[in-house]
Each structure stands twice: as C-alpha cells, then as structure tokens.
Amino acid sequence: MNRRKAEAALVLNTVVWGATFVLVKAALLDISPLLFLALRFSLATGALLALFRKSRRAPFRGKEAAAGALAGVFLFSGYLFQTLGLRLTTAPKSAFITGLTSVMVPLLAALVYRSRPQVSEVAGVLVATAGLGLMTLDRAGGWIGRGDLLTFFCAIGFAAHIVTLGHFSEYMRFQLLSVAQVGAAAVLALSLFWWAETPYVRWRPAVICAILVTGLLATALAFTIQAWAQQYTTSTRTGLIYMLEPVFAWITSYGIMGEGLSGRAAAGAALILGGVVLVELKPLNPWLHPSS
C-alpha cells in the first residue's frame, strides 16, 4: 500500500513538472530568466523552511552544508539551462531532451565511481543519442539549435544532481538536504540575476501563476514528495515513472498552445524514450548473463 501511494505521488510529480514547461515558456515573455529563477527558488526555500521548521532545530553539520550546496549548484545549473533553452525551443522538445537525464545518470555514476557501464546502459545511450539527433539536428545543415543545446546541458546538470543526491542521501537527513539544495539554488539565482542579465518583469497573471506553481508545487512540494516516496520504491521504478513527464508536457503544450512535434521530432522522442527504457530496465543484461 505504501509503495502504491508513493508511486501515485511520483506520477503526480510528473504531471506537475510536465505542465510547467508551457507555464514557464509563457511566463518568460514577461520576465527575465534569472529573475524568474530567483523568485522561484526563494519562494520554494521559504516554503521548505516553514514545512521543516522543527527539523531546523538540529544544526547543520559541515558535511551536510557542503553536500547540500553541491547538490544546489547542479540543481540550479539544470534549471538555468532549461529556462534559457525554453526561450529558444518548443516546450515538448525541451521536455523530451530533459528526459535524457535518466540516460546520463549511469554514465556520470560510472565516471564518479570508476565503474564500467552495463551493456543495456551503453545501448540505451546510443539509442537515445540517435533520437536526440533526429529531434534536434537541422535536416539540411546538420546543426543543433541553441535552445536544444542549452536544454541538453540542462540534462547533464540534472543528472549530476541525481548522482550527488544518491551519494549523500544515505547519511543525510532528507529534510535538511532538501532545504540546503533549494536554498543554495536560491542564493545563486539571487546573486546572479542583477548583474548577469538586465532584469525585467511585467506582473501579468502568467508570470504570477508560473512563479507560484513552480516555486510551491514543482520545487518545494515535488522534491519533498520525491524524498519521501523513494523510501518505498526503487530508483528504477522512479525513473520509469518520470518517463511520463515529457508525455504530459507534450499533451499540455498541445492542448494549451497548440504546440506539438513534427513527425521527425516525434520519431526522435520515441527513440529517446526507448533509450531510457533500456537504461532503466536493463533488458539485455539477463540475456547476456543468463546465469546471474
């Protein structure tokens, strides 16, 4: 019963995250990207401090603060590249390219822990890379758009964030880790927006809605849900559930803005999802090692 509730909560995360692609894209017409992130993460930090106010009585240890800050750097980099890329690409393409995070996690983990990637992981990377090429490369010139490239860097940042959390979450209190990483992202955004860009904002309903939804639901609540839910389900099942995120992004984007994918891009999206399935389920490993 706990596993079912946990996995249902993770599905809710994918619905919220999928819907935010179109919300953020609409909001970025009226607010500069770094200012948007500063407001989003500041709101999320305040909400988490209020939620975990009892946990704050236990002081941060040095390792916890450092681990949370490192996770926050990768988290911020992922959202920074994703937000910048959304201005220059479509919401469905951004969602499917972000989905490459699941493919990159085992590669980064192999580099960090100096382990050899499994056959299914290598196959998944190759399939997903082919899908990325179909989705993003220009048919005539063979170049990748700036928005797609920025979103690809976003997937690397999110993969590094997941690997970092996987390393530190075993001995860190998840409440403090959640507050520390989101707080570090807020500090980075607040320290950058006033000089790295020319900040501007027009307080229209789309901007206010995007800040509230992404700050409270897609950041504070979603990361708390994930920290709780992964006590009752495996990382493989979590990765498979999160494959629904680009699907929901595609549906909401088409329903709200009429923004879909071409046939070529849809084929690339299917290959990306296929690559993620290979990485998460590892179907080739039992076939290659039947005795295991």
Residue 63 has pLDDT above 70, yes or no: yes
Give the Cα separation of 71 and 158 in Å (integer).
10
189, part of any domain: yes
The amino acid that residue 137 corresponds to is L
pLDDT at 285: 61
* Tens digit of each residue's pLDDT (9 = 90 or more) over 108-129: 877 877 777 778 778 888 888 8
128, part of any domain: no
* Residue of 161, 158, 127, 129 whose CA lies nearest to 283: 127
292, part of any domain: no
Higher pLDDT, 115 or 49: 49
In this structure, the dihedral spanned by the alpha carbons of residues 80, 82, 84 and 87, taken in order and rounded to 10 degrees, is -150
The amino acid that residue 127 corresponds to is V
* Residue of 242, 277, 270 whose CA lies nearest to 103: 277
Chain mean pLDDT for the chain: 83
Taking a C-beta distance cutoff of 8 angstroms, is the pair 183, 45 a contact? yes
Range of the domain at 174: 2-104+145-267
111, part of any domain: no
pLDDT at 292: 45
* Residue of 224, 209, 159, 225 whose CA lies nearest to 12: 225
238, part of any domain: yes
pLDDT mean over 151-179 = 82
Higher pLDDT, 148 or 278: 148
Q: Among positive and negative, which fits the CA dihedral 111, 113, 118, 121? A: negative
Residue 103 has pLDDT above 90, yes or no: no
278, part of any domain: no
85, part of any domain: yes
Q: What angle do CA 218, 84, 36 make, to 5 degrees?
A: 50
* Residue of 263, 267, 247, 266 whose CA lies nearest to 255: 247
The amino acid that residue 251 corresponds to is I
Residues sharing a CB contact under 8 Å with residue 60, sequence separation 6 or more, in sequence order: 68, 176, 180
- What pTM, to 2 d.p., does this model score? 0.83
Residue 84 has pLDDT above 70, yes or no: yes
* Residue of 156, 139, 135, 109 whose CA lies nearest to 273: 135
* Tens digit of each residue's pLDDT (9 = 90 or more) over 219-236: 999 988 887 887 777 666
Count of domains in the chain?
1
Within 10 angstroms of residue 66's Cβ, the number of other Cβ atoms is 13
**Please, which contacts does 184-188 make with residues 24 or more away whose CB atoms are closer than 8 Å?**
184/68, 184/69, 184/71, 184/72, 184/73, 184/75, 184/76, 185/37, 185/41, 185/72, 185/73, 185/75, 185/76, 185/79, 186/38, 186/41, 186/42, 186/44, 186/45, 187/72, 188/72, 188/73, 188/76
164, part of any domain: yes
pLDDT mean over 171-194 = 86
Residue 57 pLDDT grade (very low, low, confident, very high; cuts 50, 70, 90): low
